[in-house]
Structures are given as structure tokens and as C-alpha cells.
Structure 1
Amino acid sequence: AVEIAPFDPASVEMMLLMAKKSGVITHFYPLTLATYDLLPPPETVQKELGEARKAKRCPIYMDFREEFDMECFFGSDEKNKVLKRKMRAEAIWKIVKETYERIK
């Protein structure tokens, strides 16, 4: 089974900050990709040299969900900025995780 790693709140916040600074309206859509069978991780990790990756022929699956409102979500009324960022990342992660379980 593939484990969908939790999203890093700081990374999600950085995406939001870059979008706000861009000067144009930005829309966020959760995207789920099921590509594990196409390019599975190596059996061992060799950080110094890298590792061989063998791609296979197989179907891949992807699914865009409804637009995610980065300002209005469960927990968006939280006053603590750190907790609010964590709740935002978790809300998006849950959408992606549930979608992955459905499409895979």
C-alpha cells in the first residue's frame, strides 16, 4: 500500500504567499496522481551517487478536485497562525488522500 505523506504546512504557505505576491488571482485545485507503479522507488537509497530507477509501462491515474478556498476552510477562523497553516495543509492532504484511495 502506498502511504500519502502529510503535506508540509510551510510549503503550502509558501505557495499561497507566492500566489498573493503574483498580482493575479490564483486558483488552487488539489491534484491527485497515482503513478507509483510507473516509477516505483528504488529498493535502496544511495544519496551520494543516486540510484537507478526503472520505469514500467502501466496506466496512471490523475484527478483534479474542486477548487480549494485557501482562505475559507475548516479551521480558517483559527487565530494561531501556526495551527491555521497546519489545518490548511491537513485539509488539502485529506482531499488528496481520499481521492487517491478512490482512484487507485
Structure 2
Amino acid sequence: MLDQNMLLKQKKAGKLNPLQEQFIEIDEEIDLSDIKKILENNKLPDEQYTKQKQGQITIDEEWAIEKIYKKYKTNFQKAYIDHKVNTFMWTESQMKKKYNAYIEKYGQCPKN
């Protein structure tokens, strides 16, 4: 395959073979700095990006964490293997995050 930049340079110099003109799809070269400027101009401000708040947990996830805690306490390695208890198929780290979110919300597990 022919290099686009090489073809453009040959076209500007007037040395391009007429058969090779079909391989040129763009009119001019685009520098990486031009692309960076365009991306920076179109970038949204950081405050417009919304992220999930730390410690959010849904009702279904609360129920699942309570079930996991009743059987395995905080041994998430064993809970990860038990697919009857781990209904959401969470990994160990996901279970830790959900458990911490539950503790942040209610202070203890299970809530009373």
C-alpha cells in the first residue's frame, strides 16, 4: 500500500503519476498539533462530567450484601465462589466496595 504523505508530497512537487492520484483521499496533510488543538477546543469542562457518588448502593444490592454477610461475614473470597449467594456474580473487589458502601450508609451490617 502506498503512503498517503508520500503521495501528497509527490503531488505538490508535480511528480505524481496520474494512476496514483486515485489513492489520494484527502487534499492536505493534517498535523498532530492541529488535531490536538481541535480536541482541546471541543473538550467539556471537568465540572460537567458526572461520576457516581462514593457509597451508592441500590436496594437489590443491599439485599445481596446482607445475604453474603450472613453466610460468609467478610470472607469475600469464599463468597465469590458460591454462586447461589453471589447472585450478581460480583468479584471479590466489587463485593468489598459494595460492603463498604453498605457500611457507609447504615453503619453496620445487617441493618436493624
TM range, smaller chain: under 0.3
Q: TM-score, with normalisation over the residues of structure 1?
A: 0.22
Q: Quick one: higher RCO (CA 8 Å, sep 6+), 1 or 2? A: 1
* Larger strand fraction of residues: 1
